[in-house]
Chains A and B, each alone.
Chain A
Amino acid sequence: MDESLELPSLTPKIPQPTDSTEGADEQSSGEEDGGPDWTKIPSGSSKFSVRPVIPKRGEKDFEPSEGSALQQHMLGQMRSAMFDALNVPRTASNKSISYAIWIPHLRRAHVTVARGTLFNGMGHSVPRPLSPGEDDSLGEEKLHKRLELLPEETLYLIERGSMFCWMEGDVPTNIGPAWEDVAGFPISVQQAYAEMIGKDDLTLEKYQIYAYLKRLGYVVTRARPPTPFYPTPAPYIPKRSMFNWLLRFWGKIFTGIYALFSRKRNWWRPLHLGGWWDKHTNYASIFSSLRFLPAGHSRPLMPHKSTQLGTTGDTTTITSPYTIFYNLYKPSTPFRKTAPPPPDFSLVVVGARKTPMPSLLELTSLFDLLPEEPLPPPRQRHPTQSKPLPVPPVPAPTTSSVQTSTLTLGFSRLSRWIYPNWFRNGDAKVQPAVRKINPFQALKFGKKNIVIAVVDAGTTNFYRFGEGAFEEWPMV
């Protein structure tokens, strides 16, 4: 069940006994607070035959009444359901278990036997020299590609019961034909925690977030490759196309000319009313002529030298805990391990007690790393109709449409400024076609989004910070 959550495109497997118990447990974790409802989890006797039946939950009893036989009975029933569920021996099939060996000095686990669909979103191949002694006669090192796991991946698979892991050592393992020249000893979950937390920037908080998201079926990868062999999506480089450049160039020239020829603004009279030249024929024009305060993330934020955030290689600057650590892919996103697509979400992990929320500077530097997201599709009244539509390919067409819309907007503004009355009727026709999106949704969504996971001693909270753009969506 768990695996089918992670890769829904694959044909669903018949749930295996262990998976079915885990799957049920995870469904209840969707309801965030409170413990699992143990009556949902099948007891030992029925585990091979019956899928868990979710009983209807009744009304909450707010006031425990003393001496109520009914309440005592219900409590007893729940308690025994919990014990029954916990009593089931957790088993796993020998055929579905993977094998790996943890190599401490590399901080990687070398997977010798990879089984299951979990590896579709985990592990990466690294060329390593073959173990010494084997190819000595050739005199040169031969590279051999093999599958390796990062610390969090290893720990997750061990903890999940999907992989046996050995620690590299002197003792021969003698497990089977694949393990002839492997020496080491098996490690427990506890040992794995002690060994792997703290390696390669993996804190306990980051592992907790990783494991939680993996259990929900996300593909989670590191945003910054720990080694050059680790595949990451192509970094986002802000587009500076010729077109944009020209637009900005001409914009600057026009504003310069306008500033030269226009009267100096009288700051005691920001709004001109009542003159024969006055162009206010509706409230929209009054409001827009009041919009002279600078706003928006597009204008550069000029921080003082002492508060500037660190770029790489700069020694004098402050390093921020707000760096993107994980890339997140929804279970439905087609994911190729060797060529990861741009992530669905970018994730920062911080500790709740040590770190305050990000400052504006930290947020701006995070937004600078992210591409502009297209607006979410308008909420459908009839969700059944939207089902046959394929997931729209995201970036390319939308960015161009955004560009054209800002261009037309700019043009219409310019022309409205020159001939206010001319465009009055035209506007009414054009505007609704351009703005089919609910402005509230656009305002709430923002243009760029960063997800920050806040961990407080194992309790996780996720927040989404969006780059707001109220100035682009005037209400009048």
Chain B
Amino acid sequence: MPSTPRQGATKAIGRKNENSRIYAYPLPLVLEPPEPPIRWIPNALGLFGFSSFRVLNPYCKGIFDPDTKSVWITNSGDSLILWRRGFFGKGNLSRSEPSWHARQVNQRAIAGGVSTAEEITAKRRAERKQFKLDRAAALAAAAQEAEAAFAAGGSVSPTPTINIPSAATWKPSTPLVAGEADSKSPVINPDVETNDVEDIEHLQLTLPEAFFLIWALRCLGLSQSDPTAQQEMSLSDIWLSFQNIHLGPSFKSAAQLLSPPARFDNPFLINYVVYHHYRSLGWVVKGGAKFCVDYLLYRRGPVFHHAEFALVVCPVYEDPTDKKSSPFELQNTEPFSWSWLSTINRVNSQVQKTLILTYVTIPASAKYSPQILLTPSCLPEYSVREVTLRRFVPARMRD
């Protein structure tokens, strides 16, 4: 029996509650309220601005991989923490959440318990295809019927007898299979299958993501991909190598100090400023290449809602001579043509996202000593401004 709408609704609510529980923490840090020996003590302390909250820092381990310009989290426990608490990174074999292993297990068990996001999408696409075929067939039948009616009596608009399915009314014609699968699933013992599959997936973090975790939250430690180097990289090493990596392959090695002078227009710095700005405002920031943009902003996270905003990062040189001398070919430093702007805007309004032009000013290098770029103290010299873009349709704005 197909599920009634009410059942569907309760299912959705259940899933929502479940997600709220799994993804309860917006950051990998967990704040733990203390268990006071005497009740009034924390309140009294709070009055003076003190608190005895404990911060639980998971302190994850990552490996810096210069070739892919990313940071790998190979420990699956760490990956899970970073994904579930703040949606950092993506699985290298998955769309977002590292779910490759679960998919493999599901596939072997044929009907697993919970489908992964990729499986749900595949199922939806197959259904959609079937719906389109059904609709085309119904439309053709209706046209034939109308044709016949016209030939018979010259009536132009007969009431059609064939029901043309719409997206709202169409139902997949295979609910029985799903029901069978449901009844079967307890029989299969997934444990046997799970042991066969080795989890070869890792979580990959972009450099701004990694630096945010390392520097701002201090919950990630980084080591070199070179297995001989046992030590963790120092913050200063990380800071310089994340910048150097954009200078080309010859500057990959970390400790190489700024043989070309460090520059304010390093792509890592610009992207980090944008990433940090929106993260600090509480947004979940993910890449947006799928939608012609640089970043997408989610309010709580991708599992809860669709992204609300699509950001295009437009760097603005305060001093145009810096642009001429730049080794980086930064994108979007020049204003777009109208046709391109229209393209991006169309793509994003089609998927209910608002396009935001995020302008990042690049400080004029002449004003600062090059020493400022050796530490993150240069970050407050940048500034971020947004310009929102929407189409204006005069016919609809008349009131």
Contact = CB atoms under 8 A, between A and B. Distances in A.
A196 interface: no
A276 B150 contact: no
B31 to A, nearest CB: 7
A68 interface: yes
A115 interface: no
Contacts of B339: 352
Interface string B126-157: 00000000000001000100110011000011
A282 B31 contact: yes
A194 to B, nearest CB: 28
Given A218-B394, A462-B391, A294 B380 contact: yes
B376 A69 contact: no
Contact of A295 (B147, B385, B398, B399): B385
A175 interface: no
A290 B356 contact: no
Contacts of A74: 156
Interface in A283-325: 283, 286-288, 290-297, 299, 301-304, 306-307
A360 B314 contact: yes
B389 A465 contact: yes
Contacts of B341: 357, 463
A241 B205 CA distance: 49
Interface string B48-60: 1111111101000
A107 interface: no
A470 B282 contact: no
B383 A283 contact: no
Contact of A302 (B29, B235, B318): B318
Given A70-B156, A352-B339, A464-B391, A287 B280 contact: yes
Interface string B373-399: 001110110111111111111110111
Given A268-B375, A294-B382, A422-B46, A475 B338 contact: no
A216 B393 CA distance: 11
Contacts of B386: 446, 468-470
A188 interface: no
A278 B51 contact: yes
A59 to B, nearest CB: 8
B240 to A, nearest CB: 13
User: Which size class do A's interface residues fall under?
Assistant: 35 or more
Given A73-B150, A273-B57, A461-B391, A420 B51 contact: yes
A357 B27 contact: no
B168 interface: no
A449 B146 CA distance: 51
Interface in B21-52: 25-27, 29, 31, 43, 45-52
Interface in B181-236: 215-218, 235-236
Interface centre among A62, A331, A356, A421 (most CB of B within 10 A): A421
Contact of B282 (A268, A356, A462, A474): A474
Contacts of B276: 290, 293
A114 B149 CA distance: 58
A2 interface: no
A440 interface: yes
Given A292-B380, A420-B46, A474 B281 contact: yes
Nearest to A456: B338
B273 A304 contact: no
B150 A270 contact: no
A286 B150 contact: no
Nearest to A307: B320
A153 B320 CA distance: 43
Contacts of B119: none
A48 interface: no
Given A69-B147, A281-B53, A444-B388, A358 B335 contact: yes
Nearest to A274: B55
B399 A463 contact: no
Contacts of B385: 295-297, 301, 360, 468
A243 interface: no
A182 interface: no
Nearest to B317: A304
Nearest to A304: B319
Contact of B383 (A30, A294, A419, A421): A294
A360 B392 contact: no
B161 interface: no
A360 B47 contact: no
B398 A330 contact: yes
B389 A293 contact: no
Contacts of A217: 398
A471 interface: yes
A356 B387 contact: no
Contacts of B61: none
A467 B273 CA distance: 19
A212 interface: yes
Nearest to B43: A421
Contact of A356 (B273, B335, B379): B335
12 contacts: A68-B143, A73-B156, A216-B394, A270-B216, A281-B46, A281-B51, A292-B379, A306-B320, A330-B399, A359-B335, A443-B388, A474-B281
Given A58-B157, A212-B394, A356-B337, 20 more contacts: A68-B143, A70-B146, A70-B151, A74-B156, A216-B394, A268-B235, A270-B215, A286-B27, A286-B31, A292-B380, A296-B384, A301-B361, A307-B320, A332-B398, A352-B338, A421-B45, A464-B390, A466-B390, A475-B282, A475-B283
The 6 closest A-B pairs by CB, nearest first: A468-B386, A421-B46, A476-B282, A475-B282, A466-B388, A462-B392
Interface of A: 29-30, 32, 58-59, 61-62, 65, 68-70, 73-74, 212-213, 216-218, 265, 267-271, 273-274, 276-283, 286-288, 290-297, 299, 301-304, 306-307, 330-332, 345, 352, 355-360, 363, 418-422, 440, 443-446, 451, 454, 456, 461-471, 473-476
